[in-house]
Amino acid sequence: MKIHEFQAKAILAEAGVPIPRGRVAASPAEVRAVAQELGGPVVVKAQIHAGGRGKGGGVKLAKTPDEAEQVASQILGMMLRTHQTGPEGQRVKRVLVEEAMAIRRELYLGIVIDRAVGLPVLMASAAGGMDIEEVARTRPEAIVKVHVDPATGIRGFHTRKLAFGLGLQGDHVKAAADFVTRLCAAFERTDCSLAEINPLVVAEDGRLLALDAKMNFDDNALFRHPEVQALRDLDEESPLEVEASKYNLNYIKLDGNVGCMVNGAGLAMATMDIIKLAGGQPANFLDVGGGASAEQIENAFRILISDAHVKAVLINIFGGILRCDRLAEGVIKAVRSLQVTLPIVIRMEGTNVEMGRQMLRESGLNFIAAQGMRDAAAKAVRAARAA
């Protein structure tokens, strides 16, 4: 799960990580009030989940409260487009107003899970403000890494390695150690999957601050963090995906016209792949789970067909335990109750597969039976083209 910058900063502040003075605001008048309160120049930052906000015109400097109000009126309500939002952009509902400051150095500090090692890894780089993946590709030696063993937690030598690796000196070494330790604690306490401070700045006045902050959370651990769950912003997610998540369906909308409904994530991805190989484009990823009850199938159908681009549906179920007669029953019921008129290609394997096929044949509905994935994809792509 993703959250906004201002929410991440609130979590960090609570953990004792130093952040700039500031407050979130939802109207130009409110922005003006915050700017007045802060005194001096401020930065007005659009709050959307996507990165690249500055380049898209979502981050502006204002010298006076008047100016802050004026830039806020431009940013609030705009459809902010960045390389992460997609072409339609994301509407800005709130801005973060923070003290502007003179900056001596911009650094990078992040924590992610290193899957290959099975441990959280801290990464620091003197190339702050830059895309860390880009740094990793072009100058991997510029990134200092430290793995944190859960048995010991983060130790002094870890933080010193990072601080000296960043070229910090004097009091800053100690300040950085404290910063890193507190960030680690926040990461662990809230079950983050990623915590990124980019940039971590050394201000002209000597302070070490998290100028920006990004935190993603492990969806599997949300059950034990209701306070984090409460930060979810449904406006930042696709409405169909929000709807699907209510029914425990894994749905991701894509750009094609062949809707697919599959059991299991791997098979669902493979089904998208084979649609592409058959010359078509998948309209979505949809994993109905291992079981796929009649109710789930109906909900899945409803979500699938509410995407207006879908011209044909491909159902690919490799039932282990699943009985194909039950599946057929669920599909027939869903198609009748939702009055689906789209061509539906069904490929199924599992117990009672013959009975299931017979039920589909005798239903009088517009089903196209397929044998195997290749056949199913070819038929679905053909049906989508003809539609």
One-character DSSP codes across 141-171: GGEEEEE--TTT-S-HHHHHHHHHHTT--TH
CA angle 344/348/350 to nearest 5° reads 155
Spatial separation of the C-alpha atoms in residues 251 and 300, rounded to whole Å = 9
Cα separations (Å) of 68 from 42, 44, 77, 281, 283? Answer: 7, 7, 15, 46, 42
Identify the residue among 61, 234, 277, 387 touching another protein (CB under 8 A): 277
Cα 159–chain centre separation? 29
47 binds another protein (CB under 8 A): no
The single-letter DSSP state of residue 197 is E
Contact 283, 257 (CB under 8 A): yes
**Alpha helices for 211-277 (secondary structure H):** 226-229, 239-246, 265-277
Interface region with another protein, contact rule CB under 8 A, candidates 19-27, 52-60, 70-78, 276-284: 276-284
Nearest to another protein of 157, 223 (CB atom) = 223
At which residue do the structure tokens 């700039």 appear? Answer: 20
Residues 6 or more apart from 42 whose CB is under 8 A from it? 22, 34, 35, 61, 62, 68, 97, 98, 99, 100
Nearest to another protein of 69, 196 (CB atom) = 196
Identify the residue among 14, 37, 66, 149 touching another protein (CB under 8 A): 149
Interface region with another protein, contact rule CB under 8 A, candidates 39-47, 154-162, 248-256, 299-307: 248-256
87 binds another protein (CB under 8 A): no
3-state DSSP call for residue 382?
helix
Closest approach, Cβ 2 to another protein, in A, equals 10
Q: By C-alpha distance, which of 36, 27, 45 is closest to 96?
A: 45
**Can you give the length of the chain in residues?**
387
Nearest to another protein of 71, 303 (CB atom) = 303
123 binds another protein (CB under 8 A): no
Closest approach, Cβ 361 to another protein, in A, equals 22
274 binds another protein (CB under 8 A): yes
Spatial separation of the C-alpha atoms in residues 228 and 219, rounded to whole Å = 10
Closest approach, Cβ 343 to another protein, in A, equals 21
227 binds another protein (CB under 8 A): no
Does 196 qualify as catalytic in the annotation?
yes
Element counts in the chain: helices (H) and strands (E): 13, 18
246 binds another protein (CB under 8 A): no
Identify the residue among 87, 205, 220, 364 touching another protein (CB under 8 A): 220
Cα separations (Å) of 36 from 18, 25, 31? Answer: 22, 13, 9
Which two three-digit tokens encode residue 98?
Answer: 């923070």
Closest approach, Cβ 116 to another protein, in A, equals 6
133 binds another protein (CB under 8 A): yes
Identify the residue among 350, 368, 370, 384 touching another protein (CB under 8 A): 350
| 3-state DSSP helix/strand/coil % of the chain, to nearest 5 | 40, 25, 35
Choice among 30, 108, 251, 298 that is catalytic: 108
Interface region with another protein, contact rule CB under 8 A, candidates 39-47, 293-301, 323-331, 343-351: 343-351
Closest approach, Cβ 321 to another protein, in A, equals 7
Identify the residue among 126, 130, 143, 269 touching another protein (CB under 8 A): 269
Identify the residue among 373, 380, 383, 384 touching another protein (CB under 8 A): 373
Interface region with another protein, contact rule CB under 8 A, candidates 30-38, 90-98, 130-138, 170-178: 130-138
264 binds another protein (CB under 8 A): yes
Identify the residue among 16, 39, 279, 320 touching another protein (CB under 8 A): 320
Q: By C-alpha distance, which of 146, 152, 156, 163 is closest to 112?
A: 146
319 binds another protein (CB under 8 A): yes
Does 108 qualify as catalytic in the annotation?
yes
268 binds another protein (CB under 8 A): yes
Active site residues: 108, 196
Query: Which residues form the interface with another protein (CB under 8 A)?
Result: 84, 113, 115-116, 118-120, 132-133, 136, 149-151, 188, 191, 193, 218-221, 223-224, 250, 252, 254, 262-277, 282, 285, 287, 290, 318-321, 349-351, 372-374, 377
